């Protein structure tokens, strides 16, 4: 049976078929488009169908250019390419393709009507319904197409790209032929040629990777390098850490006792922290000098003089490491390169003038200053090279910076007081900038950052105020502790001190012996920061990564701090140090203006870092034109030369004397007691010996001598006699320990064995000491 292209009977349906409209149907016949009655074949041309029953035209092509046509009034066949059948259409014979002719060629003439150009038509007798059934079957994934040919992956890929294989099309899972092109659901076959995905590591693998990233991070390497450098540059501090102390055993013994006492007080009675066991019966005796209170947690570990000495040596090395790391981090945050930042860190820590301060742990412990400044700058998103960048603000770093600053202040006001004024000045400048920018930008620094600065500043101020209370008490009770401008003049260095190295300098110590002899008090007047550092900083004024205005500001800071460090030597300090001494609270408690050189060294190091960073950048630019594009070994060595020179100039020749052994009597005799002979240098080891039992002792050494201790030393010069015994009993002293190995050439060498029965006291030999019980 055939279909007349110009009209005629509709194609017959198979009888007995009860099939409902397939899922791919398009609804009622009246909703479908009207069939085109025109014949799409060319007149007079026939093209026989292939003998294998396949349709070579592309998948998804319709039955003809204009769609299928049917006799008017009959059932409406499926629109071309829709893959649906008319309702009630039965199964079609195998091999029927969608391109069935819509009538015999020539309107009833024999032969098959040709399809579109380049395609072949189905054999005669194939109906449109049969073609639609074949299209529905070919829509199944992996099934043969409408002509019975199984699709290749290329056909599927092409059809998915053109939207002809949308979801549900001929699959019975949704309406098809509704005019929508569904997105392709088949995977891109070209993914077979892609690299295999990286396997997802497990928990242990992620932990290993995180550990590896942490170990090779710049800050981790900087910490390790700082520690290794500190051990080497302070050697032989850790060679015999239980028996020796750097430089001398006087002030280091005092500071070793301070750490031990703070730990003991926190462990036993924190409320009596400032009422120490020394300088009996003086109150607030722990505040007679800088307290190193920030090291109190270390004092919780161990007891006795050996533990105190070991603790001091460890903290001495760690203080150097922290100073190097802090200055390195500050230079990096401001925008310097790695080599330049290393120069800043090393020059700040191992400047020759600091070698004379090896016996002052509260001066060497200055690493919190640059570290706090770096954290605050990072928290505020600010650097010298890039200025203020709001997107880089980190509130957590701002809080951390204020905490570190407060910790640094707790180590002592010797250098912490100037640091507090520097922070106050920075806050004033920042507040002025904030108010100026607020007129143009609403909250330029952010509310959270403003709160962080407010809270952090209050924390810093609270720590400073609490630590200042005992010092005000001491100043009230001991008027002789107050400094005068005359006292400042004794320790004020001349201009030649900036070019004179201390005796502890390995490279310059011997060469500058004559220059030191011309200084009134050379331990505090040899202020050479390093000739290499001077040269690098001078070069940084002309060739640097810093902007010109920043270089000029650093130069101004260097000049100002040098002038202040000269104390009353610069035009008697009338317009420099004297106004600070008279008007700024706390400045009258500083007796050594030369320690302002710490800020001079830091600024010189930043200038040097700018020059070295610019030089390293220029080396990289030169190396970029080479093949391979990396610096040669010689160029690498040249970039490291400034760092090596600064290191060599910082080598030390610091003595490490053996600490006097603790007398047996100090482990057994109860307090309050007096140890003779007594003096500033003799009493500091006594304080260290008392760390076994922390019994109360009259002895003590500090930045000043209390009047009562001075009276005790004067009266006890004739001990044992009735006057000295009565006076000591009045103070509450119960025992007196005389050290035989230290009284040679003193009056006690004769009186120590004199009869004492008439004085109402007893005498006992305990080890190498004589104990008098009052």
CB atoms within 10 A of CB 439: 8
- Mean pLDDT, the chain, as a whole number? 79
Rg over alpha carbons for the chain, rounded to the nearest Å, is 47
* Residue 433 pLDDT class (50, 70, 90 cuts): confident
Can you give the pLDDT at residue 487? 85
Average pLDDT of the segment spanning 37-61: 40
- With a CB cutoff of 8 Å and minimum separation 6, the contacts of 528 are 351, 352, 353, 497, 498, 499, 500, 501, 502, 505, 508, 512
Helices 304-334 and 680-689 cross at an angle (nearest 10°) of 100
Structure tokens at 621: 């630019």
Question: Which of 143-157, 546-560, 584-598, 759-773 is predicted with the least confidence, judged by mean pLDDT?
Answer: 143-157
- Residue 200: pLDDT band (50, 70, 90) is confident
Q: What is the pLDDT of residue 104?
A: 38
Least Cα distance to 320 among 403, 208, 238 occurs for 238
Percentage of the chain beyond pLDDT 90 is: 53
What pLDDT does 9 receive?
A: 42
Q: Which residue matches tokens 């592309």?
A: 58
- Tell whether the model's pLDDT for residue 770 goes beyond 50: yes
Residue-level pLDDT at 163? 53
All residues at 6 or more sequence positions from 438 whose CB lies less than 8 Å from its CB, including other chains: 444
3-class DSSP state of 51: coil
Report the first-to-last Cα separation within the chain, whole angstroms: 142
Would you say the C-alpha torsion 52, 55, 57, 63 has a positive or negative sign? positive
101, burial (CB in 10 Å: exposed 0-12, middle 13-18, buried 19+): buried
With bands split at pLDDT 50, 70 and 90, how would you rate the model's confidence at 164? low
Q: What tens digit of pLDDT does each residue of 712-759 get?
A: 999 999 899 899 999 999 999 999 999 998 998 888 988 888 888 888
Encoding tokens for residue 226? 């700082």
Please give the residue that has the higher pLDDT: either 87 or 144.
Answer: 144
CB 738 within 8 Å of CB 676: yes
61: closest CA among 99, 96, 93, 95? 99
Q: Where are the alpha helices (DSSP H) in 365-446?
A: 368-379, 395-410, 413-438
Each residue of 9-46: pLDDT tens digit?
A: 444 444 444 444 434 444 444 444 444 433 433 334 44
- How do residues 466-479 score in pLDDT, each as one tens digit? 999 999 999 899 98
Average pLDDT over residues 700-704: 88
Nearest Cα neighbor of 740 from 774, 711, 766 is 766
Give the whole-angstrom CA distance, residue 614 versus residue 599. Answer: 23
pLDDT band at 442 (very low <50, low <70, confident <90, very high): low
On the question of pLDDT at 92 being above 50, the answer is: no
Quickly tell me which residue has 């920018």 as its tokens.
437
Alpha-helix runs per DSSP H in 275-364: 296-299, 304-334, 338-349, 361-364
Q: Please state the rounded mean pLDDT for residues 345-355.
A: 96
Query: Would you tell me how many other CB atoms lie within 10 Å of the CB of residue 667?
Result: 15
The predicted-structure confidence for 226-274, as pLDDT tens digits, reads as follows 999 999 999 999 999 999 999 999 999 999 999 999 999 999 999 999 9
Q: For residue 620, what pLDDT is reported?
A: 83
Counting residues of the chain whose pLDDT is more than 70, the rounded percentage is 73
pLDDT band at 168 (very low <50, low <70, confident <90, very high): very low
Mean pLDDT of 612-619: 91
Please, are residues 7 and 72 in contact by the beta-carbon 8 Å criterion? yes
Name the nearest CA neighbour of 399 among 432, 375, 371: 375
Reduced 3-state DSSP string for 468-523: HHHHHHHHHHCHHHCCCHHHHHHCCCCHHHHHCCCCCECCCCCCCHHHHHCCCCHH
pLDDT at 630 exceeding the cut of 70:
no
Read off the tokens for 302. 């161990």
| Bridge partner residues of 739 (DSSP) | 769
Centre a 10 Å sphere on the Cβ of residue 159 and count the other Cβ atoms it contains: 20
Pairing of strands 762-766, 735-739: unpaired
Extract the tokens encoding 559.
Answer: 């000049």
What tokens were used for 292?
């190193």
- What's the pLDDT at 155? 64
pLDDT at 378 over 60: yes
Q: What pLDDT is recorded for position 42?
A: 39
Residue 122 has pLDDT above 60, yes or no: no
Q: What's the maximum distance between 2 C-alpha atoms anywhere in the chain?
A: 160
Helices (H), 126-280: 128-138, 153-162, 203-215, 218-233, 251-268
pLDDT digits (tens, 9 = 90+) for 325-338: 999 999 999 999 99
Tell me how far apart the alpha carbons of residues 29 and 312 are, in angstroms, rounded to a whole number. Answer: 100
Is residue 615 pLDDT above 50, yes or no?
Answer: yes
On the question of pLDDT at 639 being above 50, the answer is: yes
What is the average pLDDT across 517-545? Answer: 94
């Amino acid at each position: 049976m055939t279909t007349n292209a110009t009209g005629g009977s509709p194609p017959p349906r198979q009888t007995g078929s009860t099939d409902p409209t397939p899922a791919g149907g398009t609804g009622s016949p009246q909703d479908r488009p009207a069939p085109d009655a025109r014949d799409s074949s060319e007149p007079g041309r026939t093209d026989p169908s292939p003998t294998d029953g396949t349709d070579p035209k592309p998948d998804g092509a319709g039955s003809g250019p204009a769609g299928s046509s049917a006799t008017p009034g009959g059932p409406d066949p499926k629109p071309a390419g829709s893959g649906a059948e008319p309702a009630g259409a039965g199964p079609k014979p195998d091999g029927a393709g969608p391109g069935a002719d819509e009538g015999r060629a020539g309107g009833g003439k024999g032969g098959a009507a040709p399809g579109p150009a380049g395609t072949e038509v189905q054999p005669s007798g194939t109906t449109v319904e049969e073609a639609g059934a074949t299209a529905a079957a070919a829509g199944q994934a992996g099934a043969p197409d409408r002509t019975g040919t199984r699709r290749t992956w290329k056909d599927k890929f092409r059809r998915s790209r053109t939207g002809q294989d949308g979801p549900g099309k001929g699959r019975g899972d949704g309406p098809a032929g509704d005019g929508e092109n569904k997105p392709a659901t088949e995977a891109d076959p070209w993914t077979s040629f892609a690299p295999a995905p990286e396997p997802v590591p497990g928990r242990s693998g992620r932990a290993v990777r995180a550990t590896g990233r942490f170990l090779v991070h710049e800050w981790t390497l900087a910490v390790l390098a700082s520690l290794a450098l500190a051990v080497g540059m302070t050697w032989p501090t850790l060679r015999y850490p239980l028996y020796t102390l750097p430089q001398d055993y006087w002030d280091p013994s005092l500071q070793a006792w301070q750490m031990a006492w703070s730990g003991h007080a926190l462990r036993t009675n924190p409320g009596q922290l400032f009422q120490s066991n020394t300088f009996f019966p003086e109150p607030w005796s722990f505040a007679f000098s800088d307290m190193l209170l920030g090291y109190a947690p270390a004092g919780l570990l161990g007891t006795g003089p050996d533990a105190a000495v070991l603790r001091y040596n460890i903290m001495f090395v760690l203080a150097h490491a922290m100073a190097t790391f802090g200055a390195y981090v500050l230079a990096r945050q401001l925008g310097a390169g790695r080599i330049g930042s290393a120069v800043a860190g090393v020059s700040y820590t191992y400047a020759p003038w600091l070698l004379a301060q090896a016996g002052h742990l509260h001066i060497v412990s200055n690493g919190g200053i640059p570290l706090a400044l770096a954290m605050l700058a990072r928290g505020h998103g600010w650097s010298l090279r890039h200025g203020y960048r709001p997107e880089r603000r980190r509130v957590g770093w701002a809080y951390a910076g204020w905490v570190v600053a407060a910790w640094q202040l707790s180590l002592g006001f010797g250098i912490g007081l100037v640091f507090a004024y520097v922070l106050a000045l920075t806050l004033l400048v920042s507040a002025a900038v904030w108010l100026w920018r607020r007129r143009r930008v609403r909250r330029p620094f952010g509310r959270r950052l403003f709160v962080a600065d407010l809270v952090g500043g209050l924390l810093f101020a609270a720590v400073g105020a609490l630590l200042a209370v005992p010092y005000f008490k001491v100043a009230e009770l001991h008027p002789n502790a107050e400094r005068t401008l005359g006292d400042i003049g004794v320790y004020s260095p001349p201009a030649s001190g900036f070019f004179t190295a201390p005796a502890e300098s390995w490279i310059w110590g011997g060469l500058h012996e004559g220059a030191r002899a011309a200084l009134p008090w050379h331990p505090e007047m040899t202020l050479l920061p390093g000739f290499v550092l001077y040269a690098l900083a001078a070069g940084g004024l002309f060739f640097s990564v810093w902007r010109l205005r920043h270089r000029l500001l650093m130069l101004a800071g260097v000049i100002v701090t040098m002038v202040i460090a000269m104390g009353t030597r610069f035009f008697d300090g009338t317009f420099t140090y004297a106004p600070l001494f008279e008007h700024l609270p706390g400045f009258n408690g500083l007796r050594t203006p030369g320690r302002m050189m710490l800020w001079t060294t830091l600024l010189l190091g930043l200038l040097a870092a700018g020059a070295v960073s610019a030089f390293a950048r220029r080396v990289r630019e030169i190396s970029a034109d080479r093949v391979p594009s990396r610096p040669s070994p010689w160029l690498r060595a040249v970039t490291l030369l400034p760092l090596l020179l600064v290191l060599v100039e910082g080598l030390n020749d610091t003595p490490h004397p053996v600490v006097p052994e603790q007398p047996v009597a100090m482990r057994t005799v109860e307090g309050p007691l007096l140890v003779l002979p007594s003096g500033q240098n003799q009493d500091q080891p006594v304080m260290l010996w008392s760390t076994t039992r922390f019994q109360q002792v009259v002895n003590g050494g500090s930045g000043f001598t209390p009047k009562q201790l001075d009276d005790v030393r004067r009266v006890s010069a004739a001990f044992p006699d009735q006057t000295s015994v009565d006076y000591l009993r009045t103070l509450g002293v119960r025992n007196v320990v005389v050290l035989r190995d230290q009284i040679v050439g003193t009056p006690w060498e004769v009186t120590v064995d004199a009869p004492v029965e008439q004085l109402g006291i007893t005498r006992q030999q305990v080890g190498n000491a004589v104990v008098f019980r009052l």
